[in-house]
Structure 1
Amino acid sequence: MASPVEEARLRYIHERPSYEILAKRVELAILPRLTEAHIPCSVESRAKTVSSFVKKTLANARDGTGEEPTDKAGARVIFKNSGDLERGLQIVQDLFPDAKLEDERFEEGFEQKLSYPKIHLHVRVLDKELGPDYMSCEIQLRTAAEDLWSRMSHALLYKPSAPSSPTVRRSLYRLLALVELYDAEVERAMTDMTSNPAFEESQLLHSAEALYHEFVASEYRLSLSQEVIPVLLKVIDPPITAYTKTLEDFFKSNRPKLAEFFREYGPESASGLSGQNILASQPECIIIFEIISRKPEALRARWEENLLPEDWLSELSGSWGAQL
């Protein structure tokens, strides 16, 4: 008669392909939501290996619980900094509202442990294509620095080919302190940077520049952009991260017209080389076209309030086929 662990092993070998599919589906559900929110991250997924499943099941049997591992399917979301992790956690929770949150940051006594705080969401999914019963998937959320330390510590502490020495263990725990310091300093720098008005101006120009270079391989006048962009910001509804999506959608919908515009009026055209229609050779012209499509009156009002030359706007809007 097979032992309970052997029975669990055989059962898991049969179930594992379904857990691979489940893990990938969770990954593909998370990534578009975070991308849409403009949160830089990477998402990985996997089904637990048979070897890991067996070792965990044997350990549970030794401990007297006799339970099978619950993390047969897993997804890992890795964020650049702790601020992005906080925003990403809320989005993932909204995506899986019934998930159970395990957040060690708020556990009493955790501050006395020398490890980074684990943030896990335990999701239960009922998918008739995969089976008649609920299946579980564990979602881990980490910063990039935490992930780097975790991978290294698993290789050297938890899954080494030989027992690690006290020196190795001490070195890894010392590095963990640097991980916390790194994340804290990055978050402080990000908070300071994003509170600076010039940061939004730079973000907006960077977004327009990326689209501009789809059509144009020429330099533009940065000083002119720095004069116009602050005025455009006064017309755009915050946050800039949301407007970036609006601008990208406008670009996709108007790509053929933009291509024709830059051929006829861009910096390499006869008009551009003559110095006419000055804003047609600037990346911010794409932002102006998008605003014209929604808020032409507001744009003209802000333009006049800030005493920008009227002919810059009238020439550009006329070449786009719009009258302000």
Structure 2
Amino acid sequence: MKAAGEGRHELDAVSVLNAKRTLHHLLEAAGISSDETEELLELVEAGAVALAHQEVEQLVGEAPERKGEAYGAGWLDGARTVAEAVGDLAERALRQAVAGRAATAPDARPPVRRMEVARAKAAAVPLYLSFTPASDLDPEVTDQVLTAVLGTMGAMRRAAYAGRLTEFATAQHVRLERLYAEYGPGSSIAIHGRYSLVHSPTSVAVLERLAAAPEALREEWDAAELPPAWLDGLTAAWGAPAD
């Protein structure tokens, strides 16, 4: 017979709070503000609930057939009820994570924050390095370009941008491979000039925005006073016919 507390292991509220406080202390020592740390933690928590929602939804159609029709109907109703409740929790958690930045108007685009740029960079760099081995563009310029990219979106879309960017890179894998082979690092095209942006991890994000929100991107691009030739060159390279 197992003693009380043995068996399935679950984190209690005190242990979760302890982990959060520990992370706050460690990141504060590294120069990350408490507000920025809390934002990241809330996004992670919202994501955990969203993933749990996906798992619960999978249970909807998994009632054991051997239990009979009545059992299956009860299973279906129960699974749907739980899935709906967890889905509501996931949405509330996401809204809480971006509270104060998500305006009432769905198209509102609040100022881009440092942590949002850092998250976008963390998403874009691995995708870029899956196509080409190096980045040649100045890191400061990278932040400026990503700020323009994120400026085309509201806070809710920024929170989920890593997933959107990954979906774009997966769907356009062949075209991206061709683009970086012909115009990126290691190609015969020099970094200085209209194709400079192809040498930056931000190019994946810029291309996604060109496909999804071209007018908003050009508006943010002009406001940031970034070279128009970079955007035009990337657009031309993207649209060039394959050999």
Question: Which TM-score band (shorter chain)?
Answer: 0.5 to 0.7
CA offsets per residue over residues 32-54 of structure 1, 9 Å max, x none? Answer: xxxxxxxxxxxxxxxxxxxxxxx
| Distance (whole Å) between structure 1 residues aligned to residue 236 and residue 206 of structure 2 | 12
Q: Is the 8 A contact 1:204 1:244 kept in 2?
A: yes
Question: Which has more helix, going by share of residues?
Answer: 2
Compared CA separation, residues 128 and 270, structure 1 to 2 (3 A): same
**How far apart are residue 308 of structure 1 and its match?**
1.2
**Identity across matched positions, percent:** 22
Query: SS in structure 2 opposite 1:219?
Result: coil
Q: Which moved more, 1:197-206 or 1:218-227?
A: 218-227
Counterpart among 148, 156, 177 of residue 231 in structure 1: 148
**How far apart are residue 246 of structure 1 and its match?**
1.1
Query: SS in structure 2 opposite 1:236?
Result: coil
Which residue number corresponds to residue 320 of structure 1? 238
| Distance (whole Å) between structure 1 residues aligned to residue 65 and residue 11 of structure 2 | 25
State the AA in 1 paired with 2:237.
S
TM-score, normalised via structure 2 length: 0.57
State the AA in 2 paired with 1:247.
L
TM-score, normalised via structure 1 length: 0.44
Q: Is the 8 A contact 1:207 1:244 kept in 2?
A: yes
Compared CA separation, residues 256 and 129, structure 1 to 2 (3 A): same
Question: Which has more strand, going by share of residues?
Answer: 1
Compared CA separation, residues 94 and 77, structure 1 to 2 (3 A): farther
Correspondence 1:1-16 to 2 at 5 A: none
**How far apart are residue 272 of structure 1 and its match?**
3.5
Q: Is the 8 A contact 1:247 1:290 kept in 2?
A: yes
**How far apart are residue 224 of structure 1 and its match?**
1.7
Which residue number corresponds to residue 64 of structure 2? 128
**How far apart are residue 94 of structure 1 and its match?**
8.8
Tell me how large the CA RMSD over aligned residues is. 4.1
Q: Is the 8 A contact 1:272 1:281 kept in 2?
A: no
Counterpart among 216, 223, 226 of residue 298 in structure 1: 216
| Distance (whole Å) between structure 2 residues aligned to residue 277 and residue 293 of structure 1 | 18
State the AA in 2 paired with 1:128.
P
Higher RCO structure, 1 or 2 (CA under 8 Å, sep 6+) = 2
Alignment partner of 1:212 is 2:128: yes
| Distance (whole Å) between structure 1 residues aligned to residue 188 and residue 165 of structure 2 | 27
Query: SS in structure 1 opposite 2:186?
Result: coil
Correspondence 1:76-225 to 2 at 5 A: 83=42, 84-85=44-45, 88-89=48-49, 92=52, 127-129=63-65, 131-132=67-68, 197-220=113-136, 221-225=138-142
State the AA in 2 paired with 1:213.
L
**How far apart are residue 232 of structure 1 and its match?**
1.1
| Distance (whole Å) between structure 2 residues aligned to residue 281 and residue 212 of structure 1 | 9
CA offsets per residue over residues 199-226 of structure 1, 9 Å max, x none? Answer: 1101101111010010111133312202
Q: Is the 8 A contact 2:194 2:230 kept in 1?
A: no
**How far apart are residue 254 of structure 1 and its match?**
0.4
Which residue number corresponds to residue 5 of structure 1? none
Structure 2 unmatched ranges of 5 or more: 21-40, 79-96, 102-111
